[in-house]
Amino acid sequence: MADRGASALSLPDDWPDHPDPILALNRMGSFDWDLDTGAMQMDAQAHEIFDVRPDEYDDRPETLGKRVPPGEARRLDTAVSQALKDGSENYGAYFRVRCRDGSLRWTHTQGYIRRDETGRPRRIIGIVRDATQELSDSEARREQTVREDARRRQTNVVQLTTAALAHARTVRDVIDALKDTHGLTHLGATSLVMGLVEAGRIRLIAEGPEGSFVPGTEITRIDEPYPMSEAVRTLSPRFIESPEEFAEHYPQLWQGILGLNITSAAYLPLIVQARPIGGMGLLYSDRRGFSAEERNILVALGSSIAQSLQRAMFYEQEMDLAQGLQQAMLPRTIPSVPGADVAVRYRAAAIGGPVGRDIGGDWYDLIPLPGGRVGAVIGDVQGHDTHAAAVMGQLRIVLRAYAAEGHPPATVMARASVFLHELDTDRSATCLYAEADLSTGVLQMVRAGHIEPLVRRTDGSCRRVHVPGGLPLGLSAEFGQLDYPVGTMELDPGDTLLLCTDGLVEQPGADLDDGMEALSTLIAGGPGDVRELADRLIDVAEERGGDDDVALLLLRRRALDSSRPGGRLQQHVAPGDPEALSQARRMIRTAVGAWGAGDRVDEVELVADEMITNALMHTEGAAVVTLRALTGSERLLRVEVEDSSSALPRRREAGESGVSGRGLLLVEMLADVWGVEARGGGKCVWCEFVVKEPGPV
């Protein structure tokens, strides 16, 4: 052996000061392998183990090649090389040595790798010993390898199954994880059956392969003579090791599965906190009997499955409760609205596959208002849990109450924001509230952080409607920004308004504008009927999946009754065009007479003329005059004049000449009611006249 002090590299801490006598007593040889020079020195006992004389060995490992068969040498080299590469401090390996008489004997080596300060391996010091007694022959070694491989495969299946069950949220997820290609079938099982304990009975939830269902076993009593019932009743696994044992103990069940070629089975109770919640059966068709190790693995796996199954059952109970709460918070029915066709839909978010549903805070509502008006609401409370659903229900009720009290849209939204801010919650909510006068088609909309609405025109085109927005509900109150701007537009007869939550728009990898464009295209090519269109949009959301819920409200203004002589007339009057002004006057006089209001034709014409003239004199651009016949509790004529200026009209004193300054005074004296509305970047001055005489409108 080489001088131990000749190298600066340290020896193992437990290496004895004088190893040779100790090693000899234990029939162990030692070696010292210098990896830089390649020289490997061995002591006399090592020579004896390799069956070489001192004069036959030249300190080169290659010389031992005649004693170590090629296959064994490759396996030994692999073990050493791997240890050198991965930074190990030692290695161990079994290999066979061919003796002089040609016989093979098992040998074991243990090497300690010494590295320098850079981590480079420089030296291996180790021992070799005769392992014949430990491994009597190669067959024993192979059997041990086979057992280790089988144990490794079974352990791997347990690990894979446990990992898959960690992601299971529903009972269906648990069953799918077990039936998956990485599930229990890797243990060699032909099929899986599973049942849940319910009120003293066992209900099957997994029935094995197609054609394996035995009539009368879907729901069984725990005291019936079935192996799963026995496992649940005794809280102990039931291993059936042969077809004969199966037929003898469970003849009724055996007759039902006779054609499946079952040779053995393992039925496991699923126990949680000392209480059985179900049972599971594994059926095999290519084996008989179970070793003690296999039984232990299956019992351990059954315990893991029971825990996952109980979590899934608790989750489904919570989801049932939450979804029931959410459905209770949404409107149970949508009121019919005269002059409009309405469709609403709600789709819960998908979880754990197409069957599972998650809870969310999306909602819709339709609120009948005085004067033939209607309020349409769409909103989304932050979060996907029971708390989100509870906040949603309270917010829906509050919005409905504020709107029904007659507050304007901006006030409704501001008060709802204050309510949410004062509520005991950290959630915010986006919302869009649209108030529609279906007799005129005028829409007033307020948006609190929500996506903008869409409108499909009668020609099939669909566009996004720009509505000025404020902060989400709750946040606007927190930051003192409660002045919500109001957007106004007109919904013509046959037009459809669409309000939705972002679950219908947002798609993975696409921004909001792309989603809105795709939705506009889908609506433009969709059915004309609002109910069919709503179904189509929800079907698309179902196909796409996604982890967000969807609320949808469609409102289509019905076309005017064709039996009426008219309902709405409009005329554009350009500045400096006296002919257009004359045409507008004639249109008004003719229409008012045709609508049965001849007694007020002069008043209507005079007021309209003043309003048009005021728009042309004090603004730039054209004026648009609209005349409407309104029906309801009383018959009205409504005159509207729109212009592009946002400056509001104001009453002024008449000049000395008495020519100007009387416009608004005349409007106020002659009309029954008048007002001003914002319209995009401009405004609309309007007035209404009560028509007392009966007549067709």
Average pLDDT for 618-628 = 84
**Which of the four pLDDT bands, split at 50, 70 and 90, describes residue 25?**
low
Contact 18, 39 (CB under 8 A): no
Question: Helix (H, G, I), strand (E, B), or coil: what is residue 24?
Answer: helix
Specify the pLDDT at position 395. Answer: 93
Question: Helix (H, G, I), strand (E, B), or coil: what is residue 666?
Answer: helix
Specify the pLDDT at position 567. Answer: 59
Tokens 């819960």 belong to residue: 348
Token pair of 510 as six digits: 């696409």
Token pair of 513 as six digits: 């504008």
Q: Which residue intervals of 330-385 are DSSP H helices?
A: none
More confident: 320 or 50 = 50
Contact 328, 516 (CB under 8 A): no
Tokens 């090649």 belong to residue: 65
Specify the pLDDT at position 353. Answer: 41
Q: Using CA atoms, how far apart are residues 66 and 260, in angstroms rounded to an integer? A: 56
Q: Please state at what angle helix 292-329 crosses helix 138-166, rounded to 10 degrees.
A: 10
Burial label, 179 (beta-carbon count in 10 A; 0-12, 13-18, 19+): middle
Kindly report, residue by residue over 323-374, the tens digit of the pLDDT.
Answer: 676 666 677 778 888 889 999 998 876 554 444 446 778 899 999 887 668 9
Predicted confidence (pLDDT) at residue 311 exceeds the cutoff of 60? yes
Kindly report, residue by residue over 445-457, the tens digit of the pLDDT.
Answer: 999 999 999 999 9
Contact 467, 432 (CB under 8 A): yes
Highest-pLDDT range among 59-63, 316-320, 662-666: 59-63
Kindly report, residue by residue over 431-450, the tens digit of the pLDDT.
Answer: 999 998 887 788 889 999 99
Q: Which residue intervals of 167-288 are DSSP H helices?
A: 171-179, 227-234, 243-249, 251-256
Percent of the chain at pLDDT above 90?
36
User: What pTM was computed for the model?
Assistant: 0.52
Cα angle 691, 693, 695; round to 5: 100
Specify the pLDDT at position 676. Answer: 87
Contacts of 298 (CB under 8 A, 6+ apart): 187, 237, 266, 268, 282, 290
Predicted confidence (pLDDT) at residue 12 exceeds the cutoff of 80? no
Cα angle 372, 377, 378; round to 5: 155
Q: Using CA atoms, how far apart are residues 409 and 484, in angstroms rounded to an integer? A: 9
Burial label, 328 (beta-carbon count in 10 A; 0-12, 13-18, 19+): exposed
Contacts of 58 (CB under 8 A, 6+ apart): none
Q: Measured in Å, how far apart are the chain's first and last C-alpha atoms?
A: 121
Q: Using CA atoms, how far apart are residues 390 and 423, in angstroms rounded to an integer? A: 11
Predicted confidence (pLDDT) at residue 188 exceeds the cutoff of 80? no
Specify the pLDDT at position 323. Answer: 66
Average pLDDT for 500-510 = 83
